[in-house]
A and B are shown apart, each in its own frame.
Chain A
C-alpha cells in the first residue's frame, strides 16, 4: 500500500492462492483427526462414578418412617424423654452430619409446590415421602418429627443450655414470621425463582463443615442464639412448622403433660422452654360483653377487607419480588444496558449476549414471570390477610381451661414436661408409697 507498492502487487496472486487454500476451512467440532495408534495403546474410558442417591433414597424413607414411629411410640406410650433425646442425637448425626442435610422435610415443601405449579418439574418419590410422612404423623401423634427426627430441630435442641423466657406477646408477634416465610417460599418455588428455605438454611453449613465465610458466621450466630432462645428457628422461622402445627392441632393422640389427670399443682408451669403450655383460665373477660362482641364482629367484617387489601399490596410487589428470578434480573440488566443507564455489564448479561438469543424473547419471558408474581402475590397476600384475621380473632376469644394443657399447635412433643408432673412420678413409681388425691374440679 505504501512505498513499495508495485513490487507487492506481484505477491497478491500468490497470497490469494495460499489464502484460499489454507484459510477457507471454518473451525468445526473436530478440528483435529482422532489418531490411529501404531503402538498397543488403548484409549482409556472416561471414569463416571455413579451417585449414591438411589440407594439412599429408599433407605432414607425407611429410616424416616422408623424414626417417626419410634419417637411417637416413646413420646406417647413410654413417655421417655431419654429415648427421645437419643433418637434426636441419632437423627442429628445421620440426617445432619452424615447425609449433610439434603433433602429434608422442611425444604421438600418447595419441591412439592414447584411440582404442583411448574409443568416440567420432576418430583422424585423420596421428596414426596419426606414431605408427607412427618405431616401424616403429626396428624395423628403431634409434631414428633420436630421432637427428634428433624436435624435442624435436633441441632437447636442439643445446644439449648440457658433458654430465656420469651414474653407471650413477643412470641405471638414473631410467630408471624413462619407464615411469611412459608408464603414467600411457596411463591418463589412455584415461580421457579429460588428455593429460599434451602438458600437460607442456618444449619446446613455446619452439617457440611464448609461454606463461605458469611454463611458460616450466620450459622454460628444461629447456634449461639439457640443457646439462649429455645429453638429459635423452629418457633419463629420454620415454614414447614406451620404445616406441622396445623396437622398437630388436629392430632388424635397428642402427648399430654400428665399421664393421668391434672392436679393443677403448677409444677409444670416453667417446664416448657417453648411456651407451649396453656395455663388454667377462668374464661372470664374483664370488660363489658358488648365490647368484646363488638370487637369480634368488627374483626369478622374486616377479615375480607384485610384479605383483599393485603392481597392487593403483595400483588403490587410483583416487580420487586420477581427480581428473585434470574431471568428477570438478566432482562432488567440487559434493558438498562441497552438504555445506557448502567455502565457496567454483568456476567449474566454478557453470557446472554454471547448466546445470541433475541432480547425480545428474554423480555417476554421476564414479563411472563412478573405476571406470575402478580397473580401469586394476590394469593400470598390473601393468605397472609386471612392469617392475620384468624390470629386476631383467636386472640379476641377466651377459652376457659381448668387444667394445664399443651398447646398442640406449637408443642414439639419433646417430652420435657412429663417429668415435672407428680403423677408421672407416681406412674413410674419413683415416689414410692405416695398417692395424690384428685382436686375438686371447678367449672
Chain B
C-alpha cells in the first residue's frame, strides 16, 4: 500500500514536471520565434570588408575551398594589362605562365577587340586565395572579388573560415539572396 502511494506520488510529480518541461520548450520556441526568420541563412563574404588575407584558401573544411573569385564584368575595364591577371612588373602583357599572378592559372584571358581582353574565372581551378582580387583592387576597378560559392559550400553551422577571418567579412545572409555581388547584379 505504502509502495503504491510512493509510485503514485512519483507519477504525479513526473506529470507535473513533464508539463513544466513542455512549457519551457514552448517558451524557448516562443522566444526564439520573436527573431525567427522563416528563411534559411547561408554564409557570404562582404567584398567591401574583405582584406584578401588568403585564409579562405586554407581554412575551408573542403579540400578545395568553397570560396572562389567572381568577376563583375560590368565593372571590369577589360584592360590589356590586368592587375588581377598579371604579376606586378611583368613587362610583356601576354598569357605566359611567368606573367600570371594566379597560382593555379585559374583566370582565362580571351581577346575581345583591340585593346580589350575578357577575363573569366575557371572555378574548378580557383582556390580562393584572392591574390587576383588584391591586384585588381589596388590597381584596377575592383571587379574581381571573393564570394562563397553555394554550389560547393556545405553551409556549416560555424563556418571555419568565418571564425578566423581577420576583418570579420563573413556574415550570414538570407538563402534567397545568397550573394553580395558587385556591379549591376548587386542586390539591395
A and B in direct contact, judged by CB atoms within 8 A:
yes
Residues of A that sit less than 8 Å from B by CB: 29-35, 37-39, 41, 43-54, 57, 100-104, 107-108, 110-112, 115-116, 121-126, 128, 131-132, 135-136, 139, 194-195, 198-199, 204-205, 208, 210-211, 246-247, 250-252, 326, 330, 347-348, 350-352, 354-355, 443
| Distance of A208 Cα from B22 Cα, bound (Å) | 35
**Min CB–CB distance B187 → chain A (angstroms):** 10
Given contacts A32-B77, A51-B155, A125-B36, contact A39 B42 (CB under 8 A): no
Task: Say whether B185 contacts A46, CB under 8 Å.
Answer: yes
Residues in B neighbouring A126, C-beta threshold 8 A: 40
The chain A residue with its CB closest to the CB of B163 is A194
Given contacts A52-B150, A57-B40, 8 further A-B contacts (CB under 8 A): A30-B75, A30-B77, A33-B77, A34-B75, A48-B179, A121-B35, A210-B62, A326-B168
Task: Say whether A135 contacts B35, CB under 8 Å.
Answer: no
Count, chain B residues at interface, CB 8 A: 67
B39-81 to A contact mask, C-beta < 8 Å, 1/0: 1111000000001010100000111000000111111111100
Which 9 A-B pairs rank lowest in CB-CB distance, beginning with the nearest? A32-B77, A51-B150, A195-B158, A351-B166, A49-B151, A198-B158, A53-B40, A43-B73, A250-B18
Residues in B neighbouring A112, C-beta threshold 8 A: 28, 32
Out of B61, B70, B113, which one reaches A37, CB within 8 Å? B113
Q: Is B5 an interface residue (CB 8 A)?
A: no
The chain A residue with its CB closest to the CB of B1 is A443
Residues in B neighbouring A135, C-beta threshold 8 A: 25
Task: Say whether A53 contacts B42, CB under 8 Å.
Answer: yes
Task: Say whether B25 contacts A139, CB under 8 Å.
Answer: yes
| Distance of A34 Cα from B37 Cα, bound (Å) | 39
Task: Say whether B3 contacts A443, CB under 8 Å.
Answer: yes
Q: Is B31 an interface residue (CB 8 A)?
A: yes
B138-160 to A contact mask, C-beta < 8 Å, 1/0: 01111000010111011111100
| Distance of A356 Cα from B140 Cα, bound (Å) | 23
| Distance of A367 Cα from B158 Cα, bound (Å) | 24
Task: Say whether B70 contacts A46, CB under 8 Å.
Answer: yes
Q: Is B38 an interface residue (CB 8 A)?
A: yes
Residues in A neighbouring B157, C-beta threshold 8 A: 102-104, 107-108, 110-111, 195, 198
| Distance of A50 Cα from B187 Cα, bound (Å) | 14
**Min CB–CB distance A391 → chain B (angstroms):** 18
Residues in B neighbouring A205, C-beta threshold 8 A: 61
10 A-B contacts, Cβ less than 8 Å apart?
Answer: A31-B77, A46-B183, A46-B185, A48-B178, A49-B151, A53-B155, A102-B156, A123-B32, A139-B21, A246-B21
Most buried by B among A43, A108, A110: A43
Task: Say whether A348 contacts B166, CB under 8 Å.
Answer: yes
| Distance of A57 Cα from B39 Cα, bound (Å) | 9
Task: Say whether B25 contacts A351, CB under 8 Å.
Answer: no
Given contacts A46-B72, A128-B29, A205-B61, contact A51 B37 (CB under 8 A): no
**Min CB–CB distance A215 → chain B (angstroms):** 9
| Distance of A194 Cα from B160 Cα, bound (Å) | 10
Task: Say whether A49 contacts B175, CB under 8 Å.
Answer: no
The chain A residue with its CB closest to the CB of B185 is A46
| Distance of A48 Cα from B40 Cα, bound (Å) | 17
| Distance of A398 Cα from B41 Cα, bound (Å) | 50
